[in-house]
């Protein structure tokens, strides 16, 4: 692993012996690039993303903690994505490369959220696979409660030619229509603004595109958010090109409906795995 400068900020470039690559930033423990072995970039990073202290990066894998969106009193999606994490370890093994970063409560975090915590992100790449594990420990003497998400922006060649399978029959909240719904289709094709939280999803998902696919699995992150801002929302983002929505789809592994209740001196973890097919 190599320390690099990525748009003016410190990052780690991981390279597995099989050629798989990823870049993770200290800012937010934000994964901004992943190329499976022998493959092309599979994460979407906005070409207009802003890299600046305290600001969220548009694209890659923002770590959402301790609040999802505006479902609470904190700033949108919490603060973990806007703070500088510490690199605990990074190494390449015989068949993989990994990095481990952590974020502890600080004066800045306690001013926003008055709790002790230790958040850890471990990413590991090997061949066609990316594993992202988020762990939270409660070193304090009081229970804590939080939501979390890996807000993964997947790269697609043309969103209307992509379909997401595995959500059939799932209950979801449609944040565009502001309604509780149930998925009736066997595959989801994005043809309009889409912002949904699917609850208690159990199946692996498959993002299919002409000539390629991506398997998406999660463990202990039971909800799945599917987001594409489409035409009008995209125009409102200054850090996102007007046509950027054509080349991304967020498929996020999250725990939103039932926030994690973490007793003092306990820890929790959740994981998202992507596998290029």
SS3 255: strand
Residue 175 C-beta: closest distance to ligand TA6, Å: 6
Does the protein bind ligand TA6 through residue 76 (CB under 6 A)? yes
Among positions 24-43, residues that touch ligand TA6 (CB under 6 A) are none
Q: Shortest Cβ distance from residue 69 to ligand TA6 (Å)? A: 4
CB of 186 to ligand TA6, least distance (A): 23
For the segment 79-108, give every residue that binds ligand TA6 (CB under 6 A).
none
- Give 120 or 252: the residue with its C-beta nearer to ligand TA6: 252
Nearest CA-CA partner of 256 in 60, 69, 29: 69
Q: Are 150 and 225 in contact (CB under 8 A)?
A: no
Closer residue to ligand TA6 (CB): 120 or 195? 195
CA distance 244 to 231: 9
For every residue of 128-181, DSSP letters joined together read: TEEEEEEEEE--SSS-EEEEEEE--EEE-S-GGG-EEES-TT-EEEETTTTEEE
Give the strand pairing for 31-35 and 21-25.
antiparallel
Q: Which is nearer to ligand TA6, 125 or 154 (CB)?
A: 154
Q: Is 196 in the site for ligand TA6 (CB under 6 A)?
A: no
Q: How far is the CB of 167 from ligand TA6 (least distance, A)?
A: 15
Verify binding: residue 227, ligand TA6, rule CB under 6 A: yes
Q: Which of residues 44-73 bind ligand TA6 (CB under 6 A)?
A: 56, 69
Omega of the bond leading into 82 within 30 degrees of 0 (cis): no
Closer by beta carbon to ligand TA6, 79 or else 227: 227
Q: What is the DSSP string of 186-199?
A: SEE---S-EEEEE-
Examine residue 77 and tell whether it contacts ligand TA6 (CB under 6 A): yes
Closest residue to ligand TA6 in the complex (CB): 227
DSSP 8-class letter at 109 = H
d(CA 148, CA 4): 28
Structure tokens at 107: 């004066």
* Residue among 20 and 248 whose Cβ is closer to ligand TA6: 248
Contacts of 147 (CB under 8 A, 6+ apart): 64, 65, 66, 67, 68, 71, 72, 78, 254, 255, 256, 259, 260
195 binds ligand TA6 (CB under 6 A): yes
Residues numbered 237-256 forming contacts with ligand TA6, rule: CB under 6 A: 250, 252
Is residue 225 a contact residue for ligand TA6 (CB under 6 A)?
yes
Q: Total residues at the site for ligand TA6 (CB under 6 A)?
A: 11
Residues in contact with ligand TA6 by CB under 6 A are 56, 69, 76-77, 151, 175, 195, 225, 227, 250, 252
């Amino acid at each position: 692993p190599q320390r690099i400068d990525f748009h003016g900020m410190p990052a780690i470039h991981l390279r597995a012996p099989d050629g798989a690559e990823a870049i993770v930033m200290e800012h937010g423990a934000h994964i901004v690039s992943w190329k499976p072995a022998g493959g092309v970039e599979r994460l979407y990073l906005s070409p207009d993303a802003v890299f600046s202290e305290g600001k969220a990066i548009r694209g890659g894998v923002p770590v959402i903690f301790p609040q999802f969106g505006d479902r609470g009193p904190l700033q949108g999606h919490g603060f973990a994505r806007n703070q500088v994490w510490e690199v605990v370890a990074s190494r390449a093994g015989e068949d993989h490369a990994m990095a481990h970063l952590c974020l502890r409560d600080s004066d800045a975090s306690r001013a926003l959220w008055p709790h002790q915590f230790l958040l850890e992100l471990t990413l590991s790449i090997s061949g066609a696979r990316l594993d992202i594990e988020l762990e939270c420990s409660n070193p304090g003497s009081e229970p804590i409660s939080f939501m979390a998400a890996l807000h993964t922006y997947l790269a697609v060649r043309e969103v209307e030619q992509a379909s997401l399978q595995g959500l059939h029959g799932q209950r979801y909240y449609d944040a565009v229509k502001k309604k509780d719904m149930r998925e009736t289709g066997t595959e989801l094709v994005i043809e309009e603004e889409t912002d949904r939280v699917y609850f208690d999803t159990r199946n692996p998902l498959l993002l299919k595109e002409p000539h390629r696919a991506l398997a998406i699995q999660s463990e202990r992150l039971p909800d799945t958010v599917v987001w594409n801002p489409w035409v009008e929302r995209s125009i409102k983002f200054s850090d996102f090109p007007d046509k950027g929505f054509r080349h991304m789809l967020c498929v996020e592994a999250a725990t939103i409906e039932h926030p994690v209740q973490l007793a003092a001196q306990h820890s929790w973890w959740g994981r998202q795995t992507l596998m290029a097919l």
